[in-house]
Amino acid sequence: MTPSEAFVETLASYDVKDVFGIVGSSFMDALDIFPAAGIRFIATAHEQGAGHMADGYARASERHGVCIAQNGPGITNFVTSVAAAYWAHTPVVVVTPETGSTTMGLGGFQETEQLPIFSKITKYQAHVTEPARLAELTSRCFEMAAAERGPTQLNIPRNHFYGEVDIDIPEPLHLRSPAGDPDSLAQAADMIAGAKFPVIISGGGVVMSDGVESVRALAEKLTAPVATSYLHNDAFPASHPLWTGPLGYQGSKASMKLLSKADVVIAVGTRLGPFGTLPQYGIDYWPEHAKVIQIDSDHKVLGLVKKLSIGICGDAKVAAEGLASLLENRNLACLANLEERQREISRQKEAWESELDDWTHEQDEWSLAAISESDFKMHPRQALRALERAMPSNAMVSTDIGNICSVSNSYLRFEKARSMFAAMSFGNCGYAFPAIIGAKVAAPDRPAIAYVGDGAWGMSFGEILTCVREAIPVTAVVFNNQQWGAEKKNQVDYYGNRFVGSNLVNPDWTEVARSMGAEGIAVENHEAAGEALEKACDAQRHGKTTIIEMRVSRELGDPFRRDALRKPVRYLEKYKDFVHHS
């Protein structure tokens, strides 16, 4: 067979059904036979979109995401999306055809060294040194992406698609993650049995291992409250009495207050990332004196951020099941104060819900002025509450990076895993819309909704073209506050309301949507938000993509990074006024 055939057959062997990218001569010889191999090539508007789609696709399913593009500029366009997938721990195989090996270094066309660019944002990189190794290294990239949970790069000098090879097509290995060392599990079970106020943190690893049921069983055995880790709101069902909501920025005060009381923290499938455990609302909730049991399939994150008592390197689901079975028929200290703890859980949850109900808008000086001066009057929090109430029960929601998307963390609740696809720790604006398009391809029967700020929308709305051309119906909820709000918030808090670069002038986004072949709905009042969302989700069933433009005031919620900013200091005379007057 030819190397192109070997490559495509290996994709098929790994059950690849969809590949995202933009057409290019460097891989056309393989692309030509994608359809015959049962592989759909989804042509995107930008390669960054293709990378995010592959990410969203993998996060919504248990499959690999795959993307491919033209050597040189097509590949450099992937960079941000690969970094995002790296920090979302998503198994994406990034196929990067490169300048031909016979001319590399001569400074021909579309030439750059493609391995160094991705070296810090991939879990594994394969360079195809000769055509005979193309299938083998393709397979390696699939195995490593799954085992290491992150993107891998398959770099292919473009001439290596041609020729003849005599090889066997590799088969998937179906490797399993470690179950957790038995001694560590036994020690952890002893520690949990002695706990008086155990609290569980359920993280992304629980979602990825399909371990929600196992964590639920463990929680019920202990009647332990379950907080979800930052931006993994789908790691525990929100209707469960032990669910307390998300930790981290704009998370649940109920979770934070309950966690602060813990004597033993059971952190399952979470790296306890530093940003996701920062104090919020002035509550420094991390229980410094508690014993911490951390379970993660990646040994490199155990004890990395938070001091721990027992680290268990293992699959979240299998290890949670292991703990639950070791606790079977044991005397549990926490059952002595069971009712007291149950009352406390309910009390904290009710307090937070009623605080959210009353928290219709922001109250700080800037926000109050902005509300009265803004052209648009709708309050983001009220709009988010209304959307929450109208959210279809099996919806998938992606969220972008921005002030309003961050505030949405308090209002996004899910019943099942693989439902929330936030831009994770890489934190790039422009993630949510393409990610939800990929998720929709993986789960076409589920309503797919992206929350996006107007600034981030400007970066990503081009992918409406992909929705229309490829018939992938989704809903984008665009929060038009006419500003790069999250960054403006820093200018309010630190830079004396000097707004350099943070105001936006927007077109009518509903007209833009319509002219691109989608529907557009403008919402100016939170009471209309729910109906608009229902209509848009319904339109998905008829193949239509809808952009809901939420015209909201310029008020702003708490900032991202109080931890990382300082009040400005100026020594030069000409800049002396550029300080913070408060």
Question: By the criterion CB under 6 A, which residues form the site for ligand TPP?
Answer: 401-405, 427-430, 453-456, 479, 481, 483-487
Residue (189 or 404) nearer to ligand TPP, CB: 404
Residue (44 or 406) nearer to Mg ion, CB: 406
Question: Kind and range of the H or E element at 226?
Answer: strand 226-228
Residue 14's binding partner among Mg ion, ligand TPP, none (Cβ under 5 to 8 angstroms by kind) is none
Nearest to 59 by CA among 327, 409, 336, 422: 422
Residue (398 or 483) nearer to ligand TPP, CB: 483
Residue 205's binding partner among ligand TPP, Mg ion, none (Cβ under 5 to 8 angstroms by kind) is none
Using CB atoms within 10 Å of the CB of residue 61, give its burial: 0 to 12 exposed, 13 to 18 middle, 19+ buried: middle
Looking at residue 574, what DSSP letter applies? G
Residue 50's binding partner among Mg ion, ligand TPP, none (Cβ under 5 to 8 angstroms by kind) is none
d(CA 409, CA 229): 11
Position 446, amino acid: R
Residue (143 or 487) nearer to ligand TPP, CB: 487
Residue (96 or 553) nearer to Mg ion, CB: 553
CB of 540 to Mg ion, least distance (A): 25
Residue (223 or 403) nearer to ligand TPP, CB: 403
For residue 507, count other CB atoms closer than 10 A to its CB.
Answer: 9
Which residue's Cβ has the minimum distance to Mg ion?
Answer: 453
Sequence-distant (6+) residues with CB within 8 A of 511 are 520
d(CA 158, CA 140): 19
Site string for Mg ion, 63-82 (x = CB under 5 A): --------------------
Give the 3-state secondary structure of 97-150: EECCCCCCCCCCCCCCCHHHHHCCCCCEEEECCCHHHHHHHHHHHHHHHHHHCC
CB of 38 to Mg ion, least distance (A): 42
CB of 502 to ligand TPP, least distance (A): 8
Residue (246 or 402) nearer to ligand TPP, CB: 402
Site string for Mg ion, 432-471 (x = CB under 5 A): ---------------------xxx----------------
Sequence-distant (6+) residues with CB within 8 A of 268 are 200, 201, 202, 203, 205, 206, 211, 215, 218, 295, 316, 319, 320
CB of 403 to ligand TPP, least distance (A): 4
Taking CB under 5 A as the binding criterion, the range among 109-117, 157-165, 481-489, 542-550 that sits at the site for Mg ion is: 481-489
CB of 487 to ligand TPP, least distance (A): 5
End-to-end CA distance of the chain: 73
Residue 487's binding partner among ligand TPP, Mg ion, none (Cβ under 5 to 8 angstroms by kind) is ligand TPP
Residue (233 or 482) nearer to ligand TPP, CB: 482
Residue 204's binding partner among ligand TPP, Mg ion, none (Cβ under 5 to 8 angstroms by kind) is none
Nearest to 68 by CA among 15, 25, 37, 110: 25
Question: Kind and range of the H or E element at 227?
Answer: strand 226-228
CB of 499 to ligand TPP, least distance (A): 12
CB of 45 to ligand TPP, least distance (A): 16
Q: In 522-548, which positions are buried (b, 16+ CB within 10 angstroms) versus exposed (e)?
A: bbeebebbbebbebbbebbeeebbbbb
CB of 407 to ligand TPP, least distance (A): 8
Query: Are residues 423 and 446 in contact, defined by beta-carbon separation less than 8 angstroms?
Result: no
Residue (453 or 473) nearer to ligand TPP, CB: 453
Residue (76 or 540) nearer to ligand TPP, CB: 76
**Among positions 245, 430, 485, 557, the unique one binding Mg ion when judged by CB under 5 A:** 485
Nearest to 570 by CA among 510, 495, 501, 517: 495
How many residues lie near Mg ion (CB under 5 A)?
5
Three-class SS state of 576: coil
Q: Which segments within 481-559 are labelled E, that is strand?
A: 519-523, 546-551
Which residue's Cβ has the minimum distance to ligand TPP?
Answer: 453
Question: Which residues on adjacent β-strands are paired with residue 228?
Answer: 202, 246
Residue 456's binding partner among ligand TPP, Mg ion, none (Cβ under 5 to 8 angstroms by kind) is ligand TPP
Residue 403's binding partner among Mg ion, ligand TPP, none (Cβ under 5 to 8 angstroms by kind) is ligand TPP
**Among positions 481, 502, 510, 545, the unique one binding Mg ion when judged by CB under 5 A:** 481
Give the 3-state secondary structure of 400-424: CCCHHHHHHHHHCCCCCCCCEEECC
Residue 5 touches Mg ion, criterion: CB under 5 A: no
Q: Would you tell me which residues interact with Mg ion (CB under 5 A)?
A: 453-455, 481, 485
